[in-house]
Structure formats: C-alpha cells, structure tokens
Structure 1
C-alpha cells in the first residue's frame, strides 16, 4: 500500500515522545515489508523539509499550531491521487483528514490518548477550561465520524464517550533492553519513579506517599528519575530517603529501574504508560494510580492499581514492598506489551481492514 501518516511531530522533533517512538518503529517495518510510506510532520530546526528516514519519507512543514493547515495544503498540492490510505495520528488535535481527503482515498485515525484532565495541568486556567469543555469535545465529536484505532481499552472507552462507535484497539509495543551484566536488587527497600517532573505526572504525590510509608519502612529509599520544570522545586523540598537523578541516559535509567523493588506511577492519565512496561520487562513491578492508560499497562504487566491518592499509594507500598523485596518479581516478556513486529503486523491489518470497508 501507499500510506500517508499525519503526526504533528516526528522522532527528530525535540518534543518527541512515546507516540513518535511508536510511529517510527511501525513505519520502518512497513517499509521493510514493501509498503511505500510517507510521514507528514511539523518542521524541525536544523532538519530538511524532505528527508528519508529508515526507508520512509518525512515531509516537514508548519509549527505546533500550523502543521494541520500545512498538511491540508500539501495534500492539495502533492498528495491527492498518490495514496491508498491516510492515517490521522491524533495527539490532542486531530488533522480531520476524513473531512478534506476528497479523492476517494480511505482514512483512519490513530489515537494514543485523550487529553481531558491534563488540560488543567498543562494550560492556564482560561485556556484549560476552554480546551477541556469546548475544544477537545468538539474535535473528538468530529473525529468520531471516522474509523478509529486506539492503543488501549481506556482510550477506546474515552473516545466512545465522545461519540466514536467504530473503534478498534491495537497493541502497544516494546523492545526490552539487553542488559550487559546481571542486576542485583538493592539491599534497602527501594522505590523508583521515572517520568518528567511536570504537574500531570503528580511527582509531589510520590514524595508524600513515600514519606508516609517510611513510618512503617524507615529505611525505604526513593529514586526520582527525570528532568522537567518542577525538578528544582522538588529537590528543594526533598524529604529524607529521596534522591533525584534528573534526566539520565537509557542505560542508567534501566539500571536504576532494574535495581529497585517497585516502580510507582501517578499520572493523571496516560495513553498506555510505557514506563510501566519498561519496569516490568526489567523485573520491577508497578503500583500505579487507577486511571486511564495506567490501569491498562499496569494490569497487563502484573502490577497493582490503587485509588489515586498518596495515602492509598503509601498503604500499598507498605504492604507489598516487603514481599517483593523477599521474592523478586520475574521479568515480564515485553513488559506486558507486544513485540514491535507484532504491533506493526496487527496495526497494518487493522488499517487495511478499515480501508477495505470504507
């Protein structure tokens, strides 16, 4: 097939995240299988407007806010008649390709997560209320007219609340790291948190939960991995037993995660929660807040979900950590996710099925 993927970022973008890793892993496998693939994304400083990456073509134009307009303009100039299917990869704002792809080419949306509560953590109050109550509902109601692929049951359920009826769940993928030496768990009971130090990840909850749990486990230690705008404030308020590592290399991150006895995740919501998958593949179980996305990845990885409060997290840490310290958690194949080969195959099958049905 000739496939066009629309995503506001590609992997070269400085704000690239899990969705872009997913895209890159899938697209290079589709090219290797003989498909012709083009990715349209926003411009990146220092990178060309047209580039071949791992066999697929990347077209870059526009900014975070104008990439949607530029995609439509590019389609009018260069895209019409040259593709068999268009994938609208949605990161909060859809491209609405099903409304302007007008040459009979079939379209399908790919949604990693909805934003919803995250608006109130990432935007000023007026913008947050506008986005949460007006903009995102309007975008998703419009997107509901297209067939949609979602990367978790939670995302499917969220989309259904906005009117989507034709939603297929496709798997998340992960490639476990190859550790160069055996990992030995810490002697002290150890908790690890890995994520950006931003409001919607709720790192303050982690500090409070560990401080409470230390009343029963006085030698408990917490490792906080990740950079972000809250890092300095968190460091300044650091309670006993907490160490901040900031942003680290993948090798250091995997070593720390593997040596810990339990990983915690406290986000407001996620599309899946890839860090949970990473920890499980390294033999470290997760206690996570019972919220969309995290419940999917945590239960798939054999972890535990708890009510979203520091008190509940502290109780479960106190109860479970001594057990996991005595009987280490076995690594979970692919961390409860799928191999990228499997993801690429299943996603292409779902795209093809929707394209044929259109």
Structure 2
C-alpha cells in the first residue's frame, strides 16, 4: 500500500517530540514490510528537501511553521500531476489539521490526534491570541474532522475530541521499546526525576514549588531534570537548591537516571499519554503526577499515584510516598500501559484498514491481513 502522512514536524525537526517518535516507529515498520511510505513535514535548515531514510521511509520537507499546510497542498497537487498515487493519507494533527480530506482527490483519509491543545494555548501564547486559538480556531479546526475517521492514543484524548463533536474515534495503543533495567544501584538520597522537553506546558515551575515544600520535611531530597527545550535557561536561573540539570540525554543515559531515581514526577498540564511514565515503569520506578488528561490514563496503568494538579497537593503526596519508595524501591520489570512497537504498528494498520472504505491490498503481506 502507498501511504502518505502529513505532520508539521518530522525527523530532524528541533521541536519533534513523543508524537514524532510514535510516527517514526509505526512508519518504519510499515516500510520494512514492503509498503511505500512518505512522511511530509516542514523544512528543516540543513536537511534535504527530499530523502529516503535508513528505514526506507521517504521524507519530504517543504514550508515553514506557518506555511507548511499550504506547502502540503501544493506538493500533493504536483505529486499527483506527476503521476504519483496514494492509497491512504494520514493527517497527523498537532493543533491544526492539514485538512487532507478536502483536497485528497478521493483518496481515503484518516486523522491521527495524540492530544488537543486546549489549555496549552494559554501556556504558549499571549492572552488575546490564546483566547482566539482556544475558543475559536481549535474548535473550528477539529470540527472539520467530523466526517473523518480519527485515531487517538488515550481515553483522555478521546473524551476531549468528543467534546468537539467528533464521533468516529478509535483508540490505538501507545508504544515503547523493550528494555532491561541497567545494573545500577538506587541513589542513597531520596531522588526525584523529571524527564521530557522543558516547555511551558510541563509546568516545571510548579514542580519547583512542590519540591521546595517537600524539602521542609525531607531536606536531603534531590530533583533531576533530564531534557532541554525553550524553558531550559530560565529554569536554570530560578531552580531551587537540590535541583540538577542533566540536559538532553541519550536513551541509555535516561534509563540509568530513571533506574537510580526513586520516583518520576509529572506536572504537565496535558499529555496525549505520557510515555515517560512507561519508561520509568520499565526501570521499576513509580510515577507521581498531576491528575491531568493523559496522565489520568498512563499513571494508574503503571501503578503510580495521581494528585490534584497543584504544587501543595504534589508536595503532600511526595511527603507521604517518597520515604517508602526510597526505603523499598519497586522491583524491576514491566508495569506500564504501553505495548511493544510491533503491536502498535499492527494496531494502527488494522484501524486504518477498518476506517477507510477502499480495500487494503494485503496479498503480499499476510501479517497485515484481516
């Protein structure tokens, strides 16, 4: 089958995150099974306008952050004029859809939505723009998907999409790599860790506030931050005593840090799922997090603790649970709600197959047959 996915971020984009990891892991498996897979995204300085990566996925880049949606339409029109044909288009939504169904020329289209923006408008943009985005633009954009089959990764995101009037929604699982806990001891001092991009939506300021309150009761507690992002420099300036910044680290180093810490802390205002929770669970490390969308699903699935989304409640939860976690760490082994990437690729394929009216040719790939 010939599949083209549209996402404003792609491989090599500096703002790529968990959604792009998800996309890459699914597409590379489809390509390995013989399907023709194209990933269209915005241009990245220093990266080719078109290339095929080591996994066999064709990467096309055009347009900037604000122009990528128009560039996608132009590229698709020109590709069809050259005789290119696709069997399925995937509109991966990061706040604003590409609207593939309107200009696909009859090619079946589905949407992949990891999470809605909602509160993140207020975190990322000044008040007047945020209000327009949250209450006018996003509802209009998402309601345009009312007749399009939609895939999403958590019950939280499904509820949010239903609130915009969408009904053709199917859940697909979150994925994770199989991993073994490295042979490293837990830290001697009670140690917390936050893993992820340091952006406003992660609300690390509130984590700092909770950590300061925690140290009144547990003065030896430490907090590690693994990740970088637009808030990195500012957070370094305001970090309280006991906080260490590790920056962006490779996966192996991240796993070592998670294995040495006693708990992962998540204060995001919203997640699609929150795969860091599963990464910690694989290292035998529990999560304490805000009872916010996405975390409402991933934290209980990993046997973690949810608290009301405010610094004082988080501090109370940490005072209650951290001493026991430090004294008797959880055993290593899988405890999260995510599944292996092969299973994710199969599930997304099956969802695409059931969602689109055109038949999917599986003659050469019986592993994808119904």
Common topology (TM > 0.5): yes
TM-fit CA distance, 1:168: 0.1
Q: Which residue of 1 aligns with 2:21?
A: 21
Q: Is the 8 A contact 2:303 2:335 kept in 1?
A: no
Distance 1:178 1:133 in 2: 45
Deviations 1:208-265 (A, max 9, x none): 1122122222222222222234334433333332223333333332222210101100
Corresponding residue for 2:245? 244
In structure 2, list runs of 5 or more residues that go unmatched.
360-370
Please give the root-mean-square deviation of Cα atoms over the aligned residues, in Å. 1.8
Equivalent-residue separation in structure 1 for 2:241 and 2:60 (angstroms): 50
Q: Which deviates more from structure 2 when the two are superposed, residues 331-340 or residues 283-292?
A: 331-340
Name the counterpart of 2:127: 125
What is the distance in 2 between the residues matched to 1:91 and 1:165? 19
In the alignment, the residues of structure 1 paired with residue 58 and residue 226 of structure 2 have an alpha-carbon distance, to the nearest angstrom, of: 34
Residue equivalent to 1:43: 43
Alpha-carbon distance, 1:178 to partner: 4.9
Aligned counterpart, 1:2: 2
The equivalent residue for 1:137 is 139
2:102 to 96, 99, 102: 99
> d(CA) in 2 for partners of 1:9 and 1:228?
15
Q: Does 2:32 align with 1:32? A: yes
1: CA distance, partners of 2:198 / 2:240: 16
State the partner residue of 2:166.
164
Deviation of 1:357 (Å): 7.2
- Counterpart residue number, 1:61: 62
Q: 1:249 to 1:28 in 2, by over 3 A?
A: closer
The whole-number CA distance in structure 1 between the counterparts of 2:233 and 2:63 is 33
2:111·2:150 contact (CA, 8 Å) conserved in 1?
yes
For normalisation by structure 1, the TM-score amounts to 0.94
Are the equivalent residues in 2 in contact too, given 1:176–1:335 (CA < 8 A)?
no
Judging changes above 3 Å, is the alpha-carbon distance between structure 1 residues 56 and 239 closer, same or farther for their aligned structure 2 residues? closer
Matched residue of 1:356: which SS?
Answer: coil
The answer to whether the 8 A contact 1:193-1:264 is kept is: yes
Work out the CA distance in 2 between the residues paired with 1:31 and 1:225: 32
Question: Does the 8 Å CA contact 2:180/2:282 hold for their aligned counterparts?
Answer: no
Partner in structure 2 of residue 262 of structure 1 = 263
Change in 2 beyond 3 A, CA 1:238/1:13: closer
1:179-230 Cα shifts (integer Å, max 9, x gaps): 5x50211111111112333322111111111221222222222222222343
